[in-house]
Amino acid sequence: MSRAAAGVNRSGFFPAGQHLAGECDMAVLMQDSPRIYIDFSEAAPFFPEREIALGADHARYLGTVLRLGPDASVRIFNAVDGEWEAVLLGIRKDRGSLRLVARCRAPVISRGPVLLFAPLKRDATDLVIRMGTEMGVSCFVPVTTVRTNTHRINPERLRAIAIEAAEQCERLDVPGISALQPLMAAVEDWPENKPLFAALERHEAALPGPLSTPYGLLVGPEGGFAPEEKRWLSAHDRICPLSLGPLVLRADTAVCAGLARLALSVECSISTEF
């Protein structure tokens, strides 16, 4: 069994009174301890008393920016190991180390939406990654359209932004960043059993009913989709048109509005299951 499949709790928390040995009380989560992401692919499984070396970026953030010293409390996390309480053992400008104390949250399987979006100008793209991460997006798929104003992205930089957003918003996983691909190819490759909603301007479409399966959201570039793209999307059998209201929104605003509107349908689905 892989590390990703072992010990996963879909709720992200253990039931009341059911903590494994080496697990901390949930009150630890309410502390103001900073959270840092440790990639599970770069480390062995977490366990109590294990010591972990910190790289230059983490050491600089904890020691120089936050001015933390030995014995300071830190929380570390990833989607496979969950979230752990840790204590700093030592910290310098370019390196440091910490010791794991106990696990606070079990791993969780992400079922968030996939966001297909046309890359925008740098600051706007950064905002899309940050907001999407905070709103639970599981993967970002940048696509090129007729009106896309940039055809280059830096996946490593976008991932760094997603990690920072995950650290701040309490989620355990970090969304993936796919390679840039043409709009039509991305739509044709979309799984037939998952709804793909496209935010189309001036398109009257009712709010979707309760969603119980993973879904995707497609948002166009600055200036919107070209007329031929709108016709193609509207006629495609894998596309579910989604209206974001009567006003014309900025592309980054449309991302937030679309994710929020679809999240409401997911909440409705959850509430009807009880």
Residue 55, SS3 per DSSP: coil
- CB 150 within 8 Å of CB 119: yes
Does the pLDDT value for residue 85 go beyond 70? yes
For residue 170, the surrounding DSSP H or E stretch is none
User: Model confidence over 147-194: pLDDT tens digits?
Assistant: 998 888 999 999 999 999 999 999 999 999 999 999 999 999 999 989
Of the pLDDT bands very low, low, confident and very high (cuts 50, 70, 90), residue 31 is: low
Of the pLDDT bands very low, low, confident and very high (cuts 50, 70, 90), residue 42 is: low
Tell me, what's the pLDDT at 13? Answer: 32
More confident residue, 15 or 239: 239
Which residue has tokens 């709108």? 230
First to last CA, the chain: 32
CATH of domain 114-271: 3.40.1280.10
Pick the CATH number of 26-105 from 3.40.50.1390, 2.60.40.10, 2.40.240.20, 3.40.50.800: 2.40.240.20
Tell me, what's the pLDDT at 190? Answer: 96
pTM of the model: 0.83
* Residue whose C-alpha is closest to residue 239's, from 212, 267, 203: 203
Q: How many Cα atoms sit within 13 Å of 184 on the Cβ side?
A: 8
Tell me, what's the pLDDT at 20? Answer: 46
Of the pLDDT bands very low, low, confident and very high (cuts 50, 70, 90), residue 16 is: very low
More confident residue, 6 or 242: 242
Tell me, what's the pLDDT at 25? Answer: 53
- Domain 26-105 and domain 114-271 have a common topology: no
Tell me, what's the pLDDT at 93? Answer: 85
Distance between CA atoms of residues 66 and 107, nearest Å = 27
Over range 65-93, report the average pLDDT: 94
b/e code 23-35 from CB counts within 10 Å (16+ = b): bbeeebbeeebbb
Tell me, what's the pLDDT at 209? Answer: 64
- CB 95 within 8 Å of CB 59: yes
* Residue whose C-alpha is closest to residue 229's, from 132, 153, 118, 140: 118
Of the pLDDT bands very low, low, confident and very high (cuts 50, 70, 90), residue 109 is: confident
DSSP conformation class of 237 = T
* Residue whose C-alpha is closest to residue 81's, from 2, 160, 135, 17: 2
Tell me, what's the pLDDT at 80? Answer: 93
Which residues make Cβ contacts (< 8 Å) with residue 17, sequence separation at least 6? none
Does the pLDDT value for residue 132 go beyond 70? yes
Tell me, what's the pLDDT at 205? Answer: 63
Tell me, what's the pLDDT at 267? Answer: 58
Q: How many Cα atoms sit within 13 Å of 114 on the Cβ side?
A: 19
* Residue whose C-alpha is closest to residue 135's, from 19, 51, 14, 254: 254
Give the bridge partners for 99, in sequence order: 51, 87
Over range 50-64, report the average pLDDT: 92
Over range 247-274, report the average pLDDT: 76
**For the chain, which residues make up each domain, given as ranges?**
26-105, 114-271
Distance between CA atoms of residues 77 and 9, nearest Å = 15
Give the bridge partners for 103, in sequence order: 23, 84
Which residues make Cβ contacts (< 8 Å) with residue 7, sequence separation at least 6? 106, 107
> Interhelix angle for 251-271 vs 122-134, to 10°?
10
Tell me, what's the pLDDT at 56? Answer: 92
Does the pLDDT value for residue 12 go beyond 60? no
Percent of the chain surpassing pLDDT 70: 81
